[in-house]
Amino acid sequence: MPLAGIAPRRAVQLMALTALLAAYCAQLIGALKPNVPLLVAAAAGGLALDLYLQHQQPGLLSLLSRVRFDVMVRQLLRDMLILFGLLQIDGIEPLKEQSPLTVMLLSSYLLHFLIQGVTIMVRRDRTLPVVTRNVDVSALGLSPAPPRILARRSSHRLLYLSVPVTVGLLTTAATADAVWGVLGLGISLALSLGGALYLTTWLLPGKRTADDQRVREWFAAWLQEYRPTVGLYFSGGATSAYQANMWVSTLAALDGKPLIVLRERFMVQKITATDVPIVCLPKVADLMLLEHSTLKMLLHPSNSGKTSQVLRIPTIKHAFTNHGESDKLSSCNPYAKAYDEVWVAGPAARDRYQLADIGVDDHDVVEVGRPQLAPIRPYPGPPPADGLTTVLYAPTWEGWDGNPGNTSVVLAGENIVRELLADPKVRLLYKPHPLTGSVDARAGEANKRIQAMIAEANAAMVAEAAAGGPEGSGGSGGSGTDSTAAAGRGVERPGPEAAAELARAQAELDGLATTTFRAGADEVERMLVQSSPEAGRAEAVEAASDAWEAAYWASLPAWEHQVITDSRPGIYACFNVADVLVSDVSSVISDYLTSEKPYAVANTSGLPEAEFKAEFPTVRAGTVLGPKAKQVPALLEAVRDPERDTLVRARAELKEHLLGPSDPPSLERFNAAAVALCAKADARAARMDARGESDIPSQRRDAAEEMELEPEEPAGV
């Protein structure tokens, strides 16, 4: 494949790998001939390239490690070639001068292994069975982490300590004076020994962390002091944190003492800004400590392999909330019957469970609405006649089952975008699901082509406007800037003050939303830094997020189509600026319906439209788009002309069917469900406390009595 056809990142990696191998080849030739300038240049260049790759191309180095060509092998090969070259250079006596260099070089590697051993001991000591956030850990006497170069970056440490060694040996090669090699090796040995001794201080009582048993005792005591009652349980991968974050504000608003329970250590820092205490319990044995706490109920936004472990705790009631509702099978999973209750938004989900007949009893389904939809603004009416129509195309991903109806990206995405771009009064916002292409490569390729189409359309508008295209092809799309949706109208961008305001809002939000840690901080130091929640921080983050969203939209040209792939702005923010949504059968439709704005659903399932609407109730109040997307013009006409919008009543009815009534508010219904489930936990606890020996079933009681009456076997039998 020609280099131009390779992705830029892969091309850079290929060039770096080629340069690294070329440096070794040149170093070998320089050592064999011997050619001192070539040896010096190749060895120095190889070390410099390795240092560069450590910072800029860690992915390539990870690949080299898989084939057993890691940093240790690379540096050892580099040093051995230098030593071999020294043996070939006239003026250096191998037996008199080379031996000390060899001994000192081997000693430097032994010290590297010593530091590595101490590092492992320190990291094990600082790996606690419980990781917390927003919890006072002063009783544990935690200490800041050792320098990152010593404790966590062994490859960087080896290369940095090799710099004086390489410089000294190469200077010896150039001058035929072994003193320079001894000096370089001496500096490296001194630094290595000093680093090892300094790192060892973290194993002394003053810096050593508490042992596991003491941490468990402390955590049990904290649970008794804090006395949590309602919690959120979550386990998942790095990209799934949004599933938990969407419920954090709701949890914080419930009556009782909230608690977030996690299972993966990295997830502690991925939970959004909150004052709610967070605990991570990676091991099942530590998770069981919750059985002896006051925790009465846990919310579950997703199913995971580790969910079954917490379901073993009988003192806690469990409610499955899911992270979204759609008509797909994933929103009606048989695993749901493992929970005490299944909380759904409205009657539609209740009906879905009963029709699926997967073992979830109707009396265990509780309608609670969707409290987190509060930021979505209601339908303000059609767009201005002389303005632009903002269309949000937010397809879902391809899913795990290979069903072509899961996502429209593969079969219909390009057609949908082509039809939308063909309308001169459309402004398109394209926000694909972050997992698009993770299972089906065709979805990833289609996603790239869609983004290329949008970029090409923007460039064409700018080019034609610069060439003096036809005037008066439409109205203005906003105030404060000249805006357009087609060539021939002004394509000016907002002034520098808009970008400055966005940068200010970004800095404020980043400062609030994420805690700033020292570069070398480990999870123990983060626990120490985050031991005291900042009162009102969650509210400040919400206000800063609103300010950022306003600044973000103001910084964009109102005429320009946008591709939105970052986590910000979120999907709800996109809902608020859109006049119409185009999506797939997913929870996006259900959430968007809270605004009662027009929407369309792509049908790539192969089902006839009538059957498609019958199978997926969320579709019945929207326009159905076929794979060719020929219905787009009619959809846009209905959005712009209220008289053509015949689905207004249907959307209102479907909203209540999917999300439940607006009165009482969803948060009140959700809180009432939480209070009722906690009461069930209390009732069970009361029954267990009141249960006497006479309440034990007869078969179990008879078996216990037989065990007591059975004589002991004589010794030695």
The sign of the CA dihedral 578, 580, 586, 590 is positive
Query: What is the helix, strand, coil percentage profile of the chain, to 5?
Result: 55, 10, 35
Q: How many whole angstroms separate alpha carbon 489 and alpha carbon 494?
A: 15
**Residue 665 host element (H or E):** none
Cα angle 617-618-622, degrees, rounded to a multiple of 5 = 110
Q: What is the per-residue pLDDT for 598? A: 96
Beta bridge partners of 318: 298
**Whole-number Å distance between alpha carbons of 44 and 159:** 12
In order of 171, 184, 188, 198, 516, the CA distances from 191 in angstroms are: 20, 11, 5, 10, 30
The residue with greater pLDDT, 357 or 485, is 357
Write out pLDDT tens, residues 541-558: 888 989 999 999 999 998
Higher-pLDDT residue of 481, 134: 134
Q: How confident is the model at residue 329 (pLDDT cuts 50, 70, 90)?
A: low
Instruction: Give residue-wise pLDDT tens across range 645-688.
Output: 999 999 999 999 988 888 899 999 999 999 999 999 999 999 98
384 φ/ψ angles, rounded to the nearest 5 degrees: -60, 145
Whether 465 contacts 598, CB under 8 Å: no
**Residues 219 and 293: beta-carbon distance below 8 Å:** no
Maximum CA extent, the chain: 107
**CB neighbourhood size of 343 (10 A):** 23
Per the model's pLDDT, the better-predicted residue between 404 and 482 turns out to be 404
Half-sphere exposure of 110 (CA within 13 A, CB side): 8
Give the pLDDT confidence of 555-583 residue by residue, as tens digits: 999 889 999 998 889 899 999 999 999 99
Dihedrals phi, psi of 396, to nearest 5 degrees: -90, 180
pLDDT 10s digits, 252-263: 999 999 999 999
Contact in structure between 569 and 577 (CB atoms under 8 Å): no
Q: What pLDDT score was predicted for residue 711?
A: 53
pLDDT band at 87 (very low <50, low <70, confident <90, very high): confident
SS3 299: strand
Question: What are the chain's domains?
Answer: 3-126+140-203 (no CATH), 227-369 (3.40.50.11720), 389-492+556-659 (3.40.50.2000), 495-551 (no CATH)
Interacting residues of 693 by C-beta distance below 8 A, sequence separation 6+: 701
At 360, the pLDDT band (50, 70, 90 cuts) reads confident
Cα(436)–Cα(448) distance, integer angstroms? 10
Find the helix or strand (DSSP H, E) in which 624 lies: strand 623-625
pTM: 0.80
CA-based nearest residue to 154, from 106, 101, 199, 202: 199
The pLDDT-based confidence of 710 (bands split at 50, 70, 90) is low
Model confidence over 489-519: pLDDT tens digits?
A: 456 778 889 999 999 998 888 877 677 788 8
pLDDT > 50? residue 404: yes
Q: Which residue has the tokens 């019958």?
A: 614
| Torsion angle in degrees (nearest 10) through CA of 126, 131, 136, 137 | -20
Question: Which of 435, 292, 396, 371 minimizes the C-alpha distance to 594?
Answer: 371
Interatomic CA distance for residues 704 and 710, integer angstroms: 10
Instruction: Flag whether pLDDT at 709 surpasses 60.
Output: no
- For 43, the 3-state DSSP assignment is helix
Question: Could you give the dihedral angle defined by the CA atoms of residues 260, 263, 264 and 268, in that order, rounded to the nearest 10 degrees?
Answer: 10
Report residue 659 as tokens: 């999300």
User: Which residue, chain included where needed, has tokens 């609405």?
Assistant: 369
Is residue 173 within 8 A of residue 86, CB to CB? The reply is: yes
Tracing tokens 């939480």 back to the chain, one arrives at 674
Show the beta-strand stretches assigned E in 287-349: 297-300, 317-320, 341-344
d(CA 174, CA 1): 42
The answer to whether 137 and 528 are in contact (CB under 8 A) is: yes
- Residue 607 to residues 447, 626, 650, 691, Cα–Cα distance (Å): 24, 10, 22, 57
Rg, C-alpha atoms of the chain: 32
pLDDT at 496: 87
Check: CB of residue 266 under 8 Å from CB of residue 238: yes
Specify the pLDDT at position 403.
76
Report the percent of the chain where pLDDT is more than 90: 59
Q: Where residue 5 falls among pLDDT bands split at 50, 70, 90?
A: very low
Task: Choose among 641, 643, 648, 653: nearest CA to 599.
Answer: 648
Confidence band, pLDDT 50/70/90 cuts, at residue 482: very low
Sign of the Cα torsion 230, 233, 238, 243 reads: negative
Phi, psi of 113 (to 5 degrees): -65, -35
Torsion on CA atoms 701, 707, 711, 712, rounded to nearest 10: -160
Residue type, 685: A
Q: Among 680, 656, 659, which residue's Cα sits nearest to residue 341?
A: 680
- Using one digit for the tens of pLDDT, what is the confidence trace for 515-543? 778 888 899 999 999 988 767 777 888 88
pLDDT at 474: 40
Assign 44 a pLDDT band (cuts: 50, 70, 90): very high
Q: Which residues contact 3 (CB under 8 A, 6 or more apart)?
A: 11, 14
Q: CA-CA distance, 166 to 168, in Å (whole number)?
A: 5
Q: How confident is the model at residue 466 (pLDDT cuts 50, 70, 90)?
A: confident
The three-class DSSP label of residue 341 is: strand
Tens-digit pLDDT profile for residues 164-196: 999 999 999 998 888 899 999 999 999 999 999
Backbone torsion region of residue 324, taken as left when φ is above 0, otherwise alpha when ψ lies between -120 and 50, otherwise beta: left
367 φ/ψ angles, rounded to the nearest 5 degrees: -90, 120
Q: How many CB atoms lie within 10 A of CB 663?
A: 8
27: phi then psi, degrees, rounded to nearest 5: -65, -40
% of residues, the chain, pLDDT over 70: 89
Count CA atoms closer than 13 A to 164's CA, side-chain side.
18
Residue 487 has pLDDT above 50, yes or no: no
Mean pLDDT of the chain: 87
Residue 621 scores a pLDDT above 90:
yes
* Cα gap 171→140, rounded to integer Å: 51
Task: Give the orientation angle of helix 347-356 with respect to helix 648-659, to 10 degrees.
Answer: 70
